[in-house]
């Protein structure tokens, strides 16, 4: 099937439905259940090593330590491994804006600009346009790994995956019967999943801007500055501030006019290097402290290095159409704007020398699933919420009619994804064990 065979969203509904159903001939829904190793799994370690290129050498050991904490932690840091493994099954031509790293911890609460707390995808480092099922496969495998970590049996994990995928499938069918404007309105006004959101919102409300400021800064005379606690938080020299001020000026040009006007009330007072996440450890990440003229109000911006998406690498390997982004920060921000329910007017991008950066306010009211919040039937509830979020984002950025036609009315796709998720989680366990052995061997060799 060539790129020219893709039916545009403005085509007649019957043609879009026919395209989705015809896709089953080249990529049967049952095919998504398959996973078996057809090459030496040493390749997984090689992919991890390749992903370390260009990272800050002094932080690689910390990244390895975080990934070695558990199979799920390894999986979170190994997006490049799974992106390549997704080519095990031929991809569909049902393209959407992908999160690209849709594991369960990349869904959660966040502060909307109006002060309310929403639930959505909240990480877009790997976002790219690609086959819709790639997001679902990474999400499904992560549900099993997270479930195992919180002591769920595989039968319970599989049920949670089916709950996620069936929610996605049924909602996509519903959205396929709406006008494009109604799909967008439905995403913006969707009902929250109160059962799982309630506990996360309670947790998230403690992560206020004031709490964030207290945790990261301290008073020095009449102004606050970042604490200096390397390697996790390390202030840059005062001589570096002009470079960051210039980067902020460039960043403001990527923002809406009203946001640029608001930023004129703030000035840069301090910058620090900050270690974040698991997969992001070793990439450049800075926080910039802004203050009003009388130091009465403060705000923190995050500048995070953006590199080529692992999804783009996989797309190129599969000879699928790719879009050559000139600025990786722009790729991330435009992907976020396309996928998220409520736009943050402060997301933008800039450069620092040759380094390309995405910029946003430092996360407020952010919370995601953990062992404590995944007990009992909470795992399935959370999985259902993520399936709903993903369906709404994919329907806006892709073709809900074609996707719904491909998925069909039966649970064939749901069952296939559940089988794949357990099999790939087993693979991740094996990869993790090899990774942990490799790390231990490296550390022992260095210590001799």
The pLDDT score that the predictor gives to residue 120 is 87
Give the model's confidence band at 368: pLDDT under 50 very low, under 70 low, under 90 confident, else very high: low
pLDDT for residue 188 is more than 90: no
Supply the pLDDT for residue 207: 62
> Looking at the predicted structure, is the pLDDT value of residue 391 above 70?
yes
pLDDT of residue 381: 87
Helices and strands, counts by H and E, the chain = 17, 12
| Statement: residue 205 has pLDDT above 80 | no
The average pLDDT across 330-347 equals 89
User: What average pLDDT does this structure show over 128-133?
Assistant: 97
Closest CA to 302 of 408, 216, 223, 371: 216
* C-beta of residue 304 within 8 angstroms of C-beta of residue 298: no
Given this model, what pLDDT does residue 11 score?
92
More confident call, 231 vs 368 = 231
Mean pLDDT score of the chain: 88
For residue 36, what pLDDT band results from cuts at 50, 70 and 90?
Answer: confident
pLDDT tier at 4, thresholds 50, 70, 90: very low
For residues 277 and 105, give the distance between their C-alpha atoms in angstroms, rounded to a whole number. Answer: 10
Give the residue from 287, 261, 255, 268 showing the smallest Cα distance to 364. Answer: 287
Which carries the bigger pLDDT value, residue 199 or residue 62? 62
pLDDT higher than threshold 70 for residue 445: no
229-247 average pLDDT score: 95
pTM of the model: 0.92
**Segments making up each domain of the chain, as ranges:** 3-206+372-447
Say which residue, 51 or 242, is predicted with more confidence: 242
Q: Could you tell me which residue, 442 or 186, shows the higher pLDDT?
A: 186
The answer to whether 18 and 408 are in contact (CB under 8 A) is no
Residue 2's pLDDT is: 44
* SS3 of 360-397: EECCCCCECCCCHHHCCCHHHHHHHHHHHHHHHHHHHH
Per-residue pLDDT band for 429 (boundaries 50, 70, 90) equals very high
From 71-85, 204-218, 230-244, 285-299, the region with the lowest mean pLDDT: 204-218
Is the model's pLDDT at 361 over the cut of 70? Answer: yes
Q: What is the tens place of the pLDDT at every residue in 135-178?
A: 999 999 999 999 999 999 999 999 999 999 999 999 999 999 99
Residue 399 has a pLDDT of 97
Per-residue pLDDT, 3: 43
pLDDT at 1 over 50: no
pLDDT band at 362 (very low <50, low <70, confident <90, very high): confident
pLDDT over threshold 70, residue 373: no
How far is Cα 3 from Cα 240, in angstroms, rounded to an integer? 47
pLDDT at 313 over 80: yes
Position 89 scores a pLDDT of 86
Specify the range with the lowest mean pLDDT, choosing from 39-53, 87-101, 364-378, 405-419: 364-378
> 24-38, 160-174, 224-238 — which is least confidently predicted?
24-38
Whether the per-residue pLDDT at 186 is higher than 80: the answer is yes
The pLDDT of residue 194 is above 70: no
d(CA 392, CA 398): 10
Q: Is 208 left (phi over 0), alpha (psi -120 to 50) or beta?
A: beta
- The tokens describing 391, both together, are 């369906």
- Note the pLDDT tens digit of each residue in 274-284: 999 898 998 99
User: Residue 164's closest CA among 388, 341, 371, 422?
Assistant: 388
Residue 446, pLDDT > 60, answer no
């Amino acid at each position: 099937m060539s790129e020219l065979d893709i039916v545009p969203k403005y085509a007649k509904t019957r043609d879009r439905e026919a395209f989705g159903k015809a896709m089953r001939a080249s990529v049967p829904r049952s095919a998504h259940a398959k996973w078996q190793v057809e090459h030496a799994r040493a390749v997984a370690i090689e992919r991890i090593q390749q992903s370390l290129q260009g990272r800050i050498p002094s932080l690689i050991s910390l990244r390895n330590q975080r990934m070695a904490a558990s199979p799920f932690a390894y999986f979170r840091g190994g997006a490049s491994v799974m992106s390549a493994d997704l080519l095990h099954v031929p991809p569909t031509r049902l393209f959407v804006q992908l999160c690209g790293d849709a594991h369960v911890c990349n869904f959660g609460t966040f502060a909307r600009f109006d002060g309310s707390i929403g639930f959505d995808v909240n990480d877009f480092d790997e976002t790219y346009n690609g086959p819709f099922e790639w997001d679902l496969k990474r999400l499904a495998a992560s549900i099993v790994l997270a479930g195992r970590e919180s002591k769920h049996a595989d039968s319970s994990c599989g049920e949670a995956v089916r709950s996620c995928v069936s929610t996605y499938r049924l909602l996509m069918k519903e959205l396929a019967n709406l006008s494009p404007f109604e799909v967008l309105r439905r995403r913006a006004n969707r009902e929250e999943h109160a059962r799982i959101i309630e506990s996360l919102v309670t947790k998230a409300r403690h992560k206020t801007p004031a709490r964030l400021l207290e945790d990261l800064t301290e008073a020095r005379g009449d102004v606050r500055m970042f604490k200096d606690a390397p390697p996790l938080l390390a202030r840059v020299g005062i001589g570096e501030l002009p470079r960051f001020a210039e980067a902020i000026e460039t960043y403001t040009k990527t923002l809406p006019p009203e946001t640029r006007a608001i930023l004129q009330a703030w000035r840069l007072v301090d910058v620090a290097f900050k270690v974040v996440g698991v997969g992001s450890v070793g990439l450049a990440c800075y926080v910039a402290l802004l203050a009003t003229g009388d130091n009465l109000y403060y705000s923190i911006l995050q500048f995070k290095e953006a590199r080529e998406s692992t999804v783009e690498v996989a797309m190129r390997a599969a000879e699928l159409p790719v879009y050559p982004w000139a600025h990786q920060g722009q790729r991330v921000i435009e992907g976020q704007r396309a996928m998220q329910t409520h736009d943050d007017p402060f997301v933008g991008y800039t450069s620092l020398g040759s380094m390309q950066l995405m910029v946003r306010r430092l996360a407020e009211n952010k919370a995601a699933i953990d062992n404590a919040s995944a007990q009992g039937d909470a795992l399935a509830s959370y999985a259902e919420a993520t399936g709903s979020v993903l369906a709404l984002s994919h329907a806006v950025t892709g073709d809900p009619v074609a996707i719904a036609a491909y998925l069909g009315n039966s649970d064939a796709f749901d069952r296939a994804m559940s089988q794949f998720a357990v099999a790939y989680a087993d693979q991740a366990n094996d990869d993790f064990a090899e990774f942990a052995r490799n790390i231990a061997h490296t550390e022992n060799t260095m210590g001799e």
